[in-house]
Amino acid sequence: MFDHPKPRRRQLALTRREFLRRSAMTGIALPTAAAILAACGSSSEEGGGETGAGGLKLASPDNPITLPINNDNPPIDDGLDAEDGPLRIFAYDDYIWKKVLNGFTERTGADIEYTVFDTPEEMVAKLLSNGPDFDLVVTITIENAGKLATGKLIQPFNKSYLPNVEDQLWPELPDFFDVGHQYTLPYTIYSTGIAWRNDLVSDDIAAMDNPWDVFWDTRFAGQAHLLNGARDTLSVGLLRNGYDPSESDPAILEQVKQQMLEGADSMNWKYDHVDYTELSTSQWQIHNAWSGSMGYYQYYLPKGVDITAISYAWPPTTPSKKKGLIAQDLFAIPTGAAHPVLAHQMINYMYEADVALQNYTYESYQPPINSFDETTAVEQGYLPESLAHTIITPETMALGVSQLELEPAVNQLYQEIYQEITGGA
């Protein structure tokens, strides 16, 4: 009835914290983050690099990072038997299809426990406090990958358990944040753009000069929703002004913050990503949404409304060519997980062509695998022609920008701005 045993993860945290306190007490000047990481046994990375203040190396497409593999956080051994289970998955709500999960259970005999989180920040906080309670985290984001790996909260893969990945993974997929996919593997890729009900909104947002302006258009007050989470919410303001979604200049952030405050007040934004459940009561007309949600919508539209009532604009592919986000949701295995072999098997299972397609037909978030392409979705009837452009190709991928890892102090600033914009609602 009560919770699972808590293995060695606790000791790691204590060690790091103890080190900090001991160093403070003995009067050693508190080292930079880089020195702390060095003390914990990490090796230095390749490439010169962009370093934020404090010595933390930040990954970017111009500055790819190979994450270190440490002795006290090794991958699991080869050739182990799968554990009995249950496999404990930590993910966004309903992010893997129940049928696919059941298929895994049938195949391996292991039950699946599915725990939900709402935002990347919540995910990180839970991993910090209860990492070993989970075996597989389904959505690490790019900006968290480096921190979590260097902080030894996730463990490196043993690729011998992942033969499907070898065959299927897109070679062109960016991996600057984890060169060689040592700690993370993509589950889905998607873009973040603007979805709208074309039966309620007559504007052609895709043709607008700055599609992001629509979130400040008071005609849609109370009917425009943003994604929740500090990074996603702020990126709307940043991209609207042509800035990078990982902008760190406080002056620019302040300016964007003011705009977003005005917007929040006049537009009465809601912040969520459960957009589809509100479709049946048409509680929004415009939604800052992920491309993967588009196919999902067909299950939730009210009677009489067809999936063709939904339109999606991704600014880089519109005439205006304004910047837009591209993202990958990554698999990772927490350090100290009780069922790592099962976790590896689950990842391998998800990379199987049939399974991935089956999952796609329900989730409509696209797996970046060779057996799946844009024609599959439309020809097999999973996506209407009008939304075919939501499928990502290597060409479109190159047009997008990713949310990159931020320096801790800048991250803090983002959180504070986000709290101010949402008012804690």
Partner 1 sequence: MRSKLGRGGYRLQLFWPAFAAPATVWLLAFFVVPFFVIMAIAFGGLDPVFLTPDPRYDPLDWQFGSFANVLSHLFVRESIYQQAFLRTLAYVTLASIGCLLIGYPVAYFMARHAGRFKTAFLVAFIAPFWMSYMMRMFAWVNLLQEEGYVNRILVNIGLLQSPRLWLQGKPSTVVFGLIYGYVPFMILPLYAMLDRIDRSTLEAARDLGAGQIQTFRRITLPLSRQAIFAGCMIVTLPMFGDYYTQTLLASTRGTSMFGNLIVSSLESSLVNTGASLVLVMIALLMIPMVFYLRSAARARELVA
Partner 2 sequence: MSAEAVGTDSTPRRFLGWLMNPWARARFLWVIGLAYIAWTLLPVAIAVAFSFNAGKSQTAWQGFSLTRWYLDDVSSVWQDDSLRTALLQSLKLSGLSVLIAVPIGIAFGLAIDRWRGRTSRGANMVMLFSFITPEIAVAVALFLYFTQLATVIGLGLKAQVFGLSMYEMAYPVIIVQARLLSIGKEYEEAAMDLGASQMQALRRVLLPLLTPAIVASVGIVFATSIDNFVISQRLSIGASTQTVPILIYSSARTAPLPSLNALATITLFASTLMIAVAGLALRSASRRDRGGVAATAKIGLPVAGG
> Does the footprint of partner 2 cover residue 126 (CB under 8 A)?
yes
> Does the footprint of partner 1 cover residue 415 (CB under 8 A)?
yes
Pull the structure tokens for residue 127. Answer: 């991993």
> Does the footprint of partner 1 cover residue 133 (CB under 8 A)?
no
Work out what residue 222 binds among partner 2, partner 1, none; the CB cut-off runs from 5 to 8 Å by kind. partner 1
Distance CA 63, CA 50 (A): 7
Beta strands in 159-291 (DSSP E): 185-197, 224-226, 270-271, 286-290
Give 94 or 352: the residue with its C-beta nearer to partner 2.
Answer: 94
* Choice from 57, 88, 147, 344 touching partner 1 (CB under 8 A): 147
> Does the footprint of partner 1 cover residue 56 (CB under 8 A)?
yes
Largest interatomic CA distance in the chain: 71
Residue 205, CB-side half-sphere exposure with 13 Å CA sphere: 28
Minimum gap (Å) between residue 213 Cβ and partner 1 = 20
Q: Looking at 68-76, 86-94, 95-103, 264-272, which segment touches partner 1 (CB under 8 A)?
A: 264-272
* Choice from 124, 201, 206, 279 touching partner 1 (CB under 8 A): 124
Q: Which residues pair with 186 in a beta bridge?
A: 330
Distance CA 133, CA 5 (A): 8
Residue ranges in 74-103 that form contacts with partner 2 under rule CB under 8 A:
90
Distance CA 222, CA 218 (A): 9
> Does the footprint of partner 1 cover residue 423 (CB under 8 A)?
yes
3-state secondary structure of 377: helix
β-pairing verdict for 224-226 and 310-313? unpaired
Give 80 or 125: the residue with its C-beta nearer to partner 1.
Answer: 125
Minimum gap (Å) between residue 269 Cβ and partner 1 = 8
Residue ranges in 3-22 that form contacts with partner 2 under rule CB under 8 A:
3, 6, 10
Question: CA dihedral defined by 88, 91, 94, 95, rounded to 10 degrees?
Answer: -110
> Does the footprint of partner 2 cover residue 278 (CB under 8 A)?
yes
Residue 75 phi/psi, 5-degree rounding, is -70, 165
Q: How many residues contact partner 2, by CB under 8 A?
A: 21
Minimum gap (Å) between residue 326 Cβ and partner 1 = 24
Burial class, 87, CB count within 10 angstroms (exposed 0-12 / middle 13-18 / buried 19+)? buried
> Does the footprint of partner 1 cover residue 338 (CB under 8 A)?
no
Burial class, 203, CB count within 10 angstroms (exposed 0-12 / middle 13-18 / buried 19+)? middle
Work out what residue 425 binds among partner 2, partner 1, none; the CB cut-off runs from 5 to 8 Å by kind. partner 1
Q: How many residues does the chain have?
A: 425
> Does the footprint of partner 2 cover residue 199 (CB under 8 A)?
no
* Choice from 54, 103, 174, 384 touching partner 1 (CB under 8 A): 54
> Does the footprint of partner 2 cover residue 281 (CB under 8 A)?
yes
Residue ranges in 390-409 that form contacts with partner 1 under rule CB under 8 A:
408
Distance CA 233, CA 211 (A): 16
Residue ranges in 18-37 that form contacts with partner 1 under rule CB under 8 A:
20-21, 30, 33, 36
Give 90 or 177: the residue with its C-beta nearer to partner 2.
Answer: 90
Note whether 65 and 89 are within 8 A (CB).
no
* Nearest by Cα to 332 from 324, 344, 317: 344
Pull the structure tokens for residue 286. Answer: 């415009």
Give 162 or 333: the residue with its C-beta nearer to partner 2.
Answer: 333
Pull the structure tokens for residue 310. Answer: 């939904």
- The string of DSSP letters for 70-134 reads -TTSPPPPTTPPPP---EEEEESTT-S-HHHHHHHHHHH---EEEEE-SSHHHHHHHHHHHGGG-
Q: Looking at 13-21, 249-257, 313-321, 341-349, which segment touches partner 1 (CB under 8 A)?
A: 13-21
* Choice from 84, 93, 167, 416 touching partner 1 (CB under 8 A): 416
Q: Which residues pair with 333 in a beta bridge?
A: 155
* Choice from 45, 133, 175, 363 touching partner 2 (CB under 8 A): 133
Q: Which residues bind partner 2 (CB under 8 A)?
A: 1-3, 6, 10, 90, 113-117, 126, 129-130, 133, 274, 277-278, 280-281, 283
Q: Which residues bind partner 1 (CB under 8 A)?
A: 17, 20-21, 30, 33, 36, 54, 56, 119, 121-122, 124-125, 128, 147, 150-151, 222, 230, 264-265, 268, 270, 281, 408, 411-412, 415-416, 418-425
